[in-house]
Amino acid sequence: MLVSEIESVIEQLKANPLGGTLEEMRAQFDGMASPVAADVDVKAIDAAGVPCELHTPPGADTSRIIMYVHGGGYVIGSLSSHRAVVAELARASGCQALAVDYRLAPEHVYPAAVDDSICAYLWLLSNGYNADKIVIAGDSAGGGLTIGTLLALREGKHPLPAAGVCISPWTDLEATGETYQSRKDIDPMVSYELIEPMGKMYIGTGDIKSHTASPIHADLTGLPPLLIQVGSAETLYSDSETLTKNGKAAGVEVTLEEWQDMIHVWHLFFPQLTDGRKAISRIGEYVKEKTGG
């Protein structure tokens, strides 16, 4: 791991902290995005009313697919903010990826994001993709939404996907974990002060401990295998730690990977970060393993 690379990313983030009005934060977050690789075909898709994008890298096995739900605290983030990283995850996995443009809060509160995610997954099933060839993946809020979607699918008695991949997942809307305080000075991406109000915006008048909103409170029994990647310098580290513990206690096959010195969703900085590219590659290996690639 080249420390100078992550230090450079941290300096950039500290020089341009996320802030302002919600609209300004949305524009700023989208503006941080890397350009998508020219050789990946990106096609707009209407998945039963949910806007999505289908990513097809060169040589993709079109029988296998990642369904990706982006991060951004349920209030920012878009297809634009994550287009490049989704394209590279598809490339690393040798398959397609469907990026889901779920509705954001506060315009659309919980469970809108969960409903849209379920809708996109059922659209995949109805369009020829087999459940055992699908992996649901997401980062930050999208990591929590990945688990929330799996729980809702389980309860709806729908066929479950081959696996779930959670990148720096946010699974506790109340942000009660110990590392929100103990690591607050080393992660420039997320702070308690930033994320706790986002949880309130997303939940609206609902129960903030609802298991599909805060999966930290869920019984995870029966979920498919999970890969969790988290950086050692993350304020959200506790969320991954507790999710792993709860999953294993429920008999779920959970693989927790701690990436030394990495900050929240370091994958987004893959063009300049060796460990970002390595983490994406590792997810690719996992997706191939679980979907028979």
- Residue 293: the pLDDT is 86
Summarised one tens digit per residue, pLDDT across range 88-118 is 999 999 999 999 999 999 999 999 999 999 9
Q: Which of 234, 238, 240, 267 is catalytic?
A: 234
- Residue 162: the pLDDT is 98
**For this structure, is 285 an active site residue?**
no
pLDDT < 50 positions in the chain: 2
Q: Which of 80, 117, 140, 214 is catalytic?
A: 140
- Residue 3: the pLDDT is 56
Residue type, 24: E
Q: Can you give the pTM of this predicted structure?
A: 0.98
DSSP sequence for 107-148: TS-TTHHHHHHHHHHHHHHHTT--GGGEEEEEETHHHHHHHH
69-235-192-219 Cα dihedral, nearest 10 degrees: 60
Q: Which of 55, 82, 217, 264 is catalytic?
A: 264
Q: How far is CA 234 from the centre of its chain?
A: 15
3-291: CATH number:
3.40.50.1820
**Domain ranges within the chain, ordered by starting residue:** 3-291
**For this structure, is 78 an active site residue?**
no
Q: φ, ψ for residue 175 (rounded to 5)?
A: 55, 55
**For this structure, is 82 an active site residue?**
no
- Residue 14: the pLDDT is 94
